[in-house]
Amino acid sequence: MPRGFTTAPDNLWSLDSAGVSVVAGSVTVASVVLVCLATGIGYHVWAYGDVGPYQSYLALGLLVAFLNVLPFVFRNELGPERYLSSQPKIGRTVLIWTWAFFALAVIAFLTKTTAAFSRGWLMLFYVSGAFGLVLLELAMRSAIRAALTGGRLAKKRLMLIGTPDEIQQFDELHSSAGSTVRVVCEAVIPASILGLEGTAQLTQLQEHMDRAVASARSHRVDSVILLSDWSAARVVDLSVATFSQLPVSIHLYAGRLAERFRGLRIEHVGPIAALALTEPPLAPMQAFAKRTFDIVVAGTALLLLSPLFSVIALLIKYDSQGPVIFCQRRRGYNQREFCIYKFRSMTVQEDGDVVTQVRRNDPRVTRVGALLRRYNLDELPQLLNVLQGQMSIVGPRPHAVAHDRMFEKRIEMYPRRLNVRPGITGWAQVHGHRGETDTDYKMAARVEHDLYYIDNWSLLLDLYIMLLTVVSPKTYRNAV
């Protein structure tokens, strides 16, 4: 048996993955309904002196709870893996909750029931629900981890099929005491069999597979992991044909490289069958929707903020010598260089092979510049970059070309942040990752957030980031 994998029997009262999903979904629905009832009745007592139409609050709570849970169900995100991940999914929790309220608004508009409930109560319900779901996310993480540690979480039962070397390598890479799976049996294929040809190889392979099926059935295996090399077509074909006798899932191990990619699937490129590792960040219709959104927001913002632009320009000219608008080369979509516009906030205008990052209390920052940088007002001219198609309202922040050349050699996946248009604000910035990046760790954290944004993009996420850009204290953290 591989080292690090337990073969102890499951606890009689342990929950399997499906059970965890049912419990998590049920608790989430119950929590939303309770918050809806509590805030609805409490608000009505405060405003009108009675409990109000609690049946309506119950019905609305059930509807919003269903809308909130539905995306998690469709993407199978309520299993134990969600709660055992290294980072809590708080951002996604709030995003889906916001989506549920947006969907509720659409339903209310179509059914002409927008006036049935107080707007004040709806805002209270939204804020309380978001806060409650975040607390529930953290509580579920603690409960699932405790269940795993205490043996109350049933692990998926695996069978490995491969040569002794393949099984040993798998063991060394995947042994984990905190895993939600456990290997209960193995089917070892002697390497000598792979060296045979024709009928002799087929006969011996079939004998091993027949014994493996009997072992899998007696050990109540849930999934079979085939460790053989992808080029061993006969082993793969025979394994699938033989194990199709059992109600189990059959997986061809993709190796450590493929574990870096999400949503792997087989696609046909013309007549060629290939494993799809990645795809463009935005589908054509998504790219069209994002671009339309950018043009509308940037155009409207420029019209509304034109008086502010004039005031800032006068303050800059009064405070120090130099141009009002500072232009610096940055890399944009697909690493195409462009000139980014900013209100000048410093006494220097570096744009060469060496660009010194701004530090806290940097003497090069002007008095007006410090104010502009503190509240992100120096970035407003980038609305022009958005209209020109070089930037987006939301996306990974572009860095000076000199900094890109430095970090792309030191941080894995760094260039992938430019697979979308850079943004005026971004997921990293609203989480406090802004300012000087004087260590690889700081830049790596920024890149991690940028890649999360690329992999999880939606217009609702853009709206959420725009809201956080204005109201979240983290957005203004580390301003220099």
Provide the 3-class DSSP secondary structure of residue 53. coil
Instruction: State residue 88's pLDDT score.
Output: 74
pLDDT in tens, 414-430: 888 888 999 999 999 88
C-alpha–C-alpha distance, residues 89 and 76, integer Å: 14
Owning domain of residue 86: 17-149
CA-to-CA dists, residue 196 to 203, 226, 238, angstroms = 10, 20, 15
Span 275-295, average pLDDT: 83
Domain identity same for 325 and 268:
no
* pLDDT for residue 3 is more than 50: no
Q: What is the pLDDT of residue 354?
A: 63
Q: What pLDDT, on the 0 to 100 scale, is given for residue 311?
A: 93
Q: Give the count of beta carbons closer than 10 Å to the beta carbon of residue 261.
A: 12
Q: Is 285 exposed, middle or buried (0-12, 13-18, 19+ CB in 10 A)?
A: exposed
- Count CA atoms closer than 13 A to 22's CA, side-chain side: 5
Asked if the structure places residue 2 within a domain, the reply is no
How many residues are there in the chain? 480
Confidence at residue 222, expressed as pLDDT on a 0 to 100 scale: 83
pTM exceeds 0.85, yes or no: no
The percent of residues in the chain predicted with pLDDT above 70, rounded, is: 85
Q: What is the pLDDT of residues 8-43, one digit of tens each?
A: 445 445 677 778 888 888 999 999 999 999 998 998
Question: Can you state the percent helix, strand and coil of the chain, rounding each to 5?
Answer: 55, 10, 35
b (16+ CB within 10 A) / e for 388-414: eebbbbbbbbbbbbbbbebbbeebeeb
**When comparing pLDDT for 261 and 418, which is higher?**
418
Both 268 and 365 in a single domain? Answer: no
Let me know whether 41 and 131 are in one domain. Answer: yes
What's the rounded mean pLDDT across residues 343-352? 77
Cβ neighbours of residue 51 closer than 8 Å, sequence gap 6 or more: 41, 44, 45
Cβ 126 vs Cβ 152: under 8 Å: no
**Between these two residues, 148 and 26, which has the higher pLDDT value?**
26
Residues 53 and 128 reside in one and the same domain: yes
Residue 451 domain flag = yes
Q: Are residues 56 and 191 in the same domain?
A: no
Are the CB atoms for 137 and 85 separated by under 8 Å? no
Tell whether the model's pLDDT for residue 1 goes beyond 60. Answer: no
How high is the pLDDT of residue 5? 37
User: In this model, does residue 432 exceed pLDDT 80?
Assistant: yes
CB contact at 8 A, 449 and 474: no
Beta-sheet pairing, 249-252 with 265-269: unpaired
**Is 187 inside a domain boundary?**
yes
| Averaged pLDDT, 185-205 | 80
Rounded CA separation 33/28 (Å): 9
Asked if the structure places residue 237 within a domain, the reply is: yes
Summarize the confidence of residues 226-249 as an average pLDDT: 80
| pLDDT band (50, 70, 90) for residue 174 | low
Number of folded domains in the chain?
A: 3
Considering the domain boundaries, does residue 3 fall inside one? no
Domain end, chosen from 149, 175, 200, is at 149
Domain boundary among 149, 169, 202: 149
Does residue 264 sit in the same domain as residue 292? no
User: pLDDT band at residue 114, thresholds of 50, 70 and 90?
Assistant: low
Cβ proximity of 255 and 262 under 8 Å: no
User: For position 7, what pLDDT does the model report?
Assistant: 40
Q: Which of 134, 149, 164 is the last residue of a domain?
A: 149
Do 325 and 442 sit in the same domain of this protein?
yes
- Whether the pLDDT of residue 120 is over 80: the answer is yes
Stretch among 48-57, 58-67, 166-175, 428-437 having the lowest mean pLDDT: 166-175
Element (H, E) at 392: strand 392-394
User: Residue 285 is encoded by which pair of tokens?
Assistant: 């219709």
Mean pLDDT of 305-331: 90
Res 8: pLDDT: 41
Name the amino acid, one letter, at 389. Answer: G
**CATH number, position 219:** 3.40.50
